[in-house]
Chains A and B, each alone.
Chain A
């Protein structure tokens, strides 16, 4: 292997600028975290709503939620990103479309966040539905029997249980959001993967660059995993396998 190692590259200045490569990576890390966390917020809110809608007695609502899930699950994330970025503005009224294309601030960031949020919401919705369906049938019936409305049954009986049950599968979805945020480079969000490619071309120190970026992604996955584990420990349901005593 014929490779010229240079571990000091991170402190060197970028070509034609007064920043160091380290500054690039830190900025990239910040954008990755920003995209991932904002997308996760969207995914949680919409995913819980859509997943719940899939279990309600109203057929049309359940069907609409099903269509939502199938749409976002069966098209690759990168293609969805291009659809939001290049195609969606064409469907807006003329002035709004022009504004989105030309003047919208942080256009790439917002597009990537919405795209990743909706994509992930379909996955969260599937976990949510599985969580609600895993509850004993009698729980919902008991809620209705003591005079709760359907909404109250969901609010006080089904959702508090289901939300706690689905935390382990949500942990891996949360880690996926960080990993999936890498596709945002394709529309020019200055996140980690974008910076990695840019730094590799600029410095020609590919291995050092990718190692550093890989470690940063590792940190994201690890922190996400531990954070969710903490929540999981505190919300375990007594009496279930793996639950608190």
Chain B
């Protein structure tokens, strides 16, 4: 019962939790930046006129999207050491995995963004003598990025929550830190409640900010 709860264990475990939170945030930010860069390249590949390139990108995205993230995490943790020949820590493995996995999801968002730009703009860009990369980087991508910014950020909030799955390979993120602290003080229940609270406050405030941003940056047509 609630009266038996002892939340005094939270104060001494805060530095420990903070380390976990730092890793979770770090993982989220790296996977977000890497995921958006690779995701944009994947989206361009999918929309390219080179059939083999488009097909390879489509396959990659569909494959990543149809298996559980947990399986992808386990796959990378198993296969990377086999390829590189030396074991990679759980934390580094998590960073590689999330970047590769999120790229597939970000690429679908960027593809929708690129496809929402009127075709005439590409033609106009080509007409004034821009080449493919110039059309993309000066005309199409800035608008696609702006239109999709709220959705990209929403995906990042999902990514932030999904990082808790590194639990499966034992990387020390926010959830794992709380679990270890709970074991150390023999108070797992309080630590789980506390960590759920942290996740909720962060995700709820972020999605609130995204909704405000959405209203602010919408391009008026």
Give chain B interface residues in 159-212, CB to chain A under 8 Å.
161-162, 164-165, 167-168, 175, 188-189, 192-193, 195-196, 199-200, 203-204, 207
Query: Which residues of chain B come closer than 8 Å to A186, judged between CB atoms?
Result: 167-168
Contacts of A70 in B (CB 8 A): 204
Enumerate chain A residues within 8 angstroms of B165, measured Cβ to Cβ.
Answer: 76, 78, 183
- The main secondary structure of chain B at its interface with chain A is helix
Q: Is the CB of A207 within 8 A of B1?
A: no
CA A221 to CA B65, docked complex, whole Å: 10
With contact pairs A83-B196, A207-B78 given, residues A185 and B164 touching in the complex (Cβ less than 8 Å)? no
Is the pair A182, B66 in contact by a Cβ cutoff of 8 Å? no
> Do A75 and B161 touch across chains, with their CB atoms under 8 A apart?
yes
- Distance in Å from the Cβ of A95 to the closest Cβ of chain B? 12
Taking CB atoms and an 8 Å cut-off, the chain A residues in 44-70 that contact chain B are 70
Given contacts A74-B204, A76-B175, A207-B78, contact A1 B70 (CB under 8 A): no
B218 shortest CB reach to chain A, Å: 18
> A79: nearest residue on chain B (CB-CB)?
B196
Do A90 and B79 touch (CB < 8 A)? no
Is A77 touching B161 in the complex (CB atoms < 8 A)?
yes
Q: Are A86 and B189 in contact (CB under 8 A)?
A: yes
From known contacts A87-B193, A206-B78, A217-B68, infer whether A76 and B162 are also in contact, taking CB-CB under 8 Å.
yes
Q: Considering the complex, which residues of chain B in the window 68-106 have a beta carbon less than 8 Å from any beta carbon of chain A?
A: 68-71, 74-75, 78-79, 82-83, 85
Map CB proximity to A onto B41-61 as digits: 1 under 8 Å, 0 otherwise. Answer: 000000000000000000000
Asked if B127 is an interface residue, CB under 8 A from chain A, the answer is no
CB distance from B155 to the nearest CB of A (A): 14
Count residues on chain A whose CB falls below 8 Å from chain B CBs. 42
Interface-centre pick from A3, A78, A186, A196 (highest chain B CB count, 10 A): A78
Task: Contacts A86-B192, A90-B189 given; indicate if A210 touches B78 (C-beta within 8 A).
Answer: yes
A118: CB under 8 A from chain B?
no
**Bound CA span A206–B82, Å:** 11
Cβ of A175 within 8 Å of any chain B Cβ, yes or no, is: yes
Q: By the criterion CB–CB under 8 Å, are B203 and A197 in contact?
A: no
Question: Cα distance A182–B71 when bound, in Å?
Answer: 8
Q: Which of A125-170 contact B (CB under 8 A)?
A: none
Q: Does A180 contact B (CB under 8 A)?
A: yes
Nearest A residue to B5 via CB reads A90
- CB < 8 Å: which of B1, B69, B189 contacts A179? B69
State whether B164 touches A78 (Cβ < 8 A): yes
Tell me which of A79, A87, A196 contacts B189 (CB under 8 A): A87
A82 contacts B by Cβ under 8 Å: yes
Q: How far is the CA of A197 from the CA of B193 in the complex (A)?
A: 28
Partner of B68, one of A2, A80, A90, A179: A179
Closest CB in chain B relative to A129 CB, distance in Å: 15
**B67: CB under 8 A from chain A?**
yes
Give every chain A residue within 8 A of B196 (Cβ-Cβ).
Answer: 75, 79-80, 83
Q: Within the complex, what minimum Cβ distance (angstroms) separates B197 from chain A? A: 9
Choose one: B2, B4, B195, B199; the contact of A74 (CB below 8 Å): B199
Pick from B4, B67, B162, B189 the residue with the most CB of A within 10 Å: B67
Contact A79 B192 (CB under 8 A): yes
As a 0/1 sequence over residues 171 to 204 of chain A, the CB contacts with chain B under 8 angstroms (1 = contact) are 0000100111111011000000100110010000
* Distance between Cα atoms of A168 and B188 in the complex (Å): 41
CB neighbors of B among A1-38 (8 A) = 1-3
Across the interface, do A210 and B68 meet the contact criterion of CB distance under 8 Å? no
Q: List 8 A-B contacts (CB under 8 A).
A: A75-B161, A78-B164, A90-B4, A91-B2, A181-B68, A196-B74, A207-B78, A207-B82
On A, residues with C-beta under 8 Å from B are 1-3, 70-71, 73-80, 82-83, 86-87, 90-91, 94, 175, 178-183, 185-186, 193, 196-197, 200, 206-207, 210, 213-214, 217-218, 221-222
- A-contacting residues of B (Cβ < 8 Å)? 1-2, 4-5, 66-71, 74-75, 78-79, 82-83, 85, 161-162, 164-165, 167-168, 175, 188-189, 192-193, 195-196, 199-200, 203-204, 207
Given A193-B74, A197-B168, 10 more contacts at CB 8 Å?
A75-B199, A76-B162, A76-B199, A79-B175, A90-B1, A94-B1, A179-B66, A197-B74, A210-B78, A222-B66
